[in-house]
């Protein structure tokens, strides 16, 4: 059997991190087995439709390196791939179930349903559509039903769940799952607006699109029995199911907006590398080996298998994501880093002097930051004169005689011809040793005066990147305006 899997989001806004992980696992599985990856848009709820959401979804899936073989944006033999464009299909299949006696009409209003719910709740029973007490095929005769339909009375079509029969199915990740049959509700298949519910559309489409494996989030596990029953009602074979563990907040609840960013686009905007993000997400709930953390997309594809996916939810720990991003920041080619950050700097109108200069600054600081986009905030002094100065560091390293020492130093370097790492370094050592002092007596004062900060890259690497004239100006400014 050939592998055909799908990612089937609703176009309700942005791509959720959990959605990305689901899409990624589908993608890894498809590519690993040389199968097909399909995108299907589930937009049967017209009230939640968001304009442009589909394009947005595709954009960020592609950002992550997840591409499709079939979908609304590329077509395919099993289209259309947008459920609202398959409208007529679902009614046809719903009617087929009616004819086979597997489903039935129901005419209850939402008020009547609400009443029923209250009644059941009051009696202490569990909720299930009470088919013998409502207005449907069980309580009305054919004449009445025909009349209601002819009169244009709104109706829905419900699945006739066979009571008292346990529903059992196999899940690749969880093993055998069984649910008591008398707990399954007579699920609505076709809504009164003529649109199918998720359950009908999902099953019909997965069947027609010949989906071999349904890989989706654990939140779908409780409704899977309904789907299994639907496949049985149609006389179709079930696809294999694999329910992925949830991505969790710090407090172990399902990853949600309240407790941090959940939209993939937020992480893109913050400057995370796609490789780092995908690597991190892939290892939340699955692990190929015991002693390695960094994997490329190709390696993930090669190693991926559903059997090793964990059963329990995984907390999304931003700490580890940051670490992983830093790993990529250190190992990526410098040109790639430039390509990554320049559009961002231009967008925030940050003056990075020029490309070559920016390149040198990145080389110098890539091991000191975790995210490239942090560069402007981490080392503003590389691009402009410092505006604030670390008071504690000044107190610690600026002694009484330091002002005179630095003044002398300024005069001395004014005469220097060359100004690069080697020359500034060698000159300074020689100069300070002649005075019978240690390098540290001048290094710290220079650092605070030139950068305003207590930490940073090697002082002479830093000074070499800044022009000598600039260094002199900064030192003079510091002595005249800050230290006084």
Range 305-324, binding RNA (CB under 7 A) = 307-308, 310-315, 317, 319-320, 322-323
If the CB atoms of residues 133 and 346 are measured against RNA, the closer one turns out to be 133
Asked if 126 touches RNA (CB under 7 A), the answer is yes
Query: Rg of the Cα trace of the chain?
Result: 32
Report how many residues bind RNA under the rule CB under 7 A: 83
How far is residue 228 CA from its own chain's centroid? 30
| Residue 422 neighbours by CB under 8 Å, 6+ apart | none
Asked if 232 touches RNA (CB under 7 A), the answer is no
**Catalytic site includes residue 395:** no
CB of 366 to RNA, least distance (A): 9
If the CB atoms of residues 195 and 295 are measured against RNA, the closer one turns out to be 195
Token code pair at residue 353:
């002097």
Range in contact with RNA (rule: CB under 7 A) among 31-39, 97-105, 183-191, 469-477: 183-191
User: How far is residue 162's CA from residue 86's CA, in Å, rounded to a whole number?
Assistant: 28
Which residues, numbered 269-298, are part of the site for RNA (CB under 7 A)? 283-287, 290-293
If the CB atoms of residues 64 and 464 are measured against RNA, the closer one turns out to be 464
Q: Which residue has the tokens 């008020």?
A: 111
Q: In what order do the strands lie in the sheet with 188-190?
A: 103-106, 156-159, 188-190
If the CB atoms of residues 79 and 484 are measured against RNA, the closer one turns out to be 79
Range in contact with RNA (rule: CB under 7 A) among 92-100, 185-193, 340-348, 410-418: 185-193
Secondary structure (3-state) at 201: helix
CB of 84 to RNA, least distance (A): 10
If the CB atoms of residues 312 and 351 are measured against RNA, the closer one turns out to be 312
The residue within the footprint of RNA, chosen from 5, 188, 300, 375 (CB under 7 A), is 188
Q: In what order do the strands lie in the sheet with 240-244?
A: 36-39, 4-7, 213-217, 240-244, 167-171, 175-179
Token code pair at residue 388:
């604030």
Asked if 156 touches RNA (CB under 7 A), the answer is yes
Asked if 245 touches RNA (CB under 7 A), the answer is yes
Asked if 13 touches RNA (CB under 7 A), the answer is no
Question: Which entry of 180, 250, 252, 257 is annotated as an active-site residue?
Answer: 257
CB of 308 to RNA, least distance (A): 6
If the CB atoms of residues 338 and 429 are measured against RNA, the closer one turns out to be 429
Secondary structure (3-state) at 5: strand
User: How far is residue 131's CA from residue 139's CA, in Å, rounded to a whole number?
Assistant: 8
CB of 349 to RNA, least distance (A): 27
CB of 347 to RNA, least distance (A): 26
**Residue 375 CB neighbours (<10 A):** 25
Q: What is the DSSP string of 281-327?
A: HHTSSB-S-SS-----HHHHHHH--GGGB-SS-EE--HHHHHHHHHH
User: How far is residue 78's CA from residue 21's CA, in Å, rounded to a whole number?
Assistant: 25
Which residues, numbered 380-439, are part of the site for RNA (CB under 7 A)? 425, 439
If the CB atoms of residues 126 and 349 are measured against RNA, the closer one turns out to be 126
Which residues, numbered 54-73, are part of the site for RNA (CB under 7 A)? none
Asked if 210 touches RNA (CB under 7 A), the answer is no
User: How far is residue 442's CA from residue 402's CA, in Å, rounded to a whole number?
Assistant: 8
User: How far is residue 382's CA from residue 466's CA, in Å, rounded to a whole number?
Assistant: 7
Q: Are 38 and 4 in contact (CB under 8 A)?
A: yes
Which residues, numbered 432-471, are part of the site for RNA (CB under 7 A)? 439-440, 443-444, 447, 454-461
User: How far is residue 127's CA from residue 30's CA, in Å, rounded to a whole number?
Assistant: 39
Peptide bond just before 45 cis, omega within 30 deg: no
Asked if 219 touches RNA (CB under 7 A), the answer is yes
If the CB atoms of residues 42 and 70 are measured against RNA, the closer one turns out to be 42
Asked if 22 touches RNA (CB under 7 A), the answer is no
Asked if 152 touches RNA (CB under 7 A), the answer is no
User: How far is residue 80's CA from residue 54's CA, in Å, rounded to a whole number?
Assistant: 14
- What positions carry a catalytic annotation? 257
């Amino acid at each position: 059997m050939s592998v055909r899997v799908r990612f089937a989001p609703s176009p309700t806004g942005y791509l959720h991190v959990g959605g990305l992980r689901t899409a990624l696992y589908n993608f890894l599985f498809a590519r690993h087995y040389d199968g097909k990856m399909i995108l299907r848009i589930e937009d049967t709820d017209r009230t939640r439709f968001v304009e442009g959401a589909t394009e947005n979804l595709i954009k960020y899936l592609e950002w992550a390196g997840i591409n499709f073989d079939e979908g609304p944006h590329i077509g395919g033999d099993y289209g259309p791939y947008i459920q609202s464009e398959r409208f007529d299909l679902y009614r046809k299949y719903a009617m087929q179930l009616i004819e086979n006696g597997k489903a039935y009409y129901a005419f209850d209003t939402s008020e009547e349903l609400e009443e029923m719910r209250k009644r059941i709740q009051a009696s202490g029973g569990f909720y299930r559509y009470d088919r013998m007490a409502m207005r449907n095929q069980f309580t009305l005769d054919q004449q009445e039903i025909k009349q209601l339909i002819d009169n244009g009375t709104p109706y829905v079509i419900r699945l006739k769940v066979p009571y008292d029969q346990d529903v059992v199915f196999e899940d690749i990740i969880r093993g055998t799952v069984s649910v008591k049959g008398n707990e399954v509700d007579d699920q609505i298949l076709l809504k009164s607006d003529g649109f199918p519910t998720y359950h009908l559309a999902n099953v019909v489409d997965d069947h027609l699109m010949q989906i071999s494996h349904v890989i989706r989030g654990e939140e779908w596990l409780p409704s899977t029995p309904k789907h299994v029953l639907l496949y049985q009602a149609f006389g179709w074979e079930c696809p294999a199911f694999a329910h992925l563990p949830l991505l969790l907040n710090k407090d172990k609840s399902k990853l949600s907006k309240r407790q941090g960013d959940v939209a993939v686009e937020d992480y893109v905007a913050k400057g995370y590398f796609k490789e780092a993000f995908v690597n991190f997400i892939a290892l939340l709930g699955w692990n190929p080996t015991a002693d390695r953390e960094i994997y490329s997309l190709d390696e993930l594809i090669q190693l991926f298998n559903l059997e090793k996916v964990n059963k329990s939810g995984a907390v999304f720990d931003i700490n580890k994501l940051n670490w992983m991003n830093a790993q990529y920041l250190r190992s990526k080619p410098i040109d790639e880093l430039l390509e990554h950050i320049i559009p961002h700097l231009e967008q925030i109108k940050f003056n990075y002097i020029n490309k070559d200069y920016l390149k040198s600054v990145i080389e110098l600081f890539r091991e000191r930051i975790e995210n490239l986009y942090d560069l402007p905030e981490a080392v503003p002094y590389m691009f402009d004169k410092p505006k604030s100065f670390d008071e504690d560091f000044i107190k610690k390293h600026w002694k009484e005689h330091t002002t005179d020492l630095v003044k002398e130093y300024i005069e001395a370097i004014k005469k220097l011809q060359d100004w690069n790492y080697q020359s500034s370094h060698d000159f300074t050592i020689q100069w300070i040793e002649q005075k019978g002092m240690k390098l540290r007596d001048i290094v710290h004062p220079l650092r605070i005066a030139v950068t305003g900060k207590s930490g940073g890259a090697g002082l002479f690497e830093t000074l070499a990147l800044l022009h000598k004239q600039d260094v002199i100006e900064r030192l003079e400014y510091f002595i005249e305006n800050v230290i006084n």
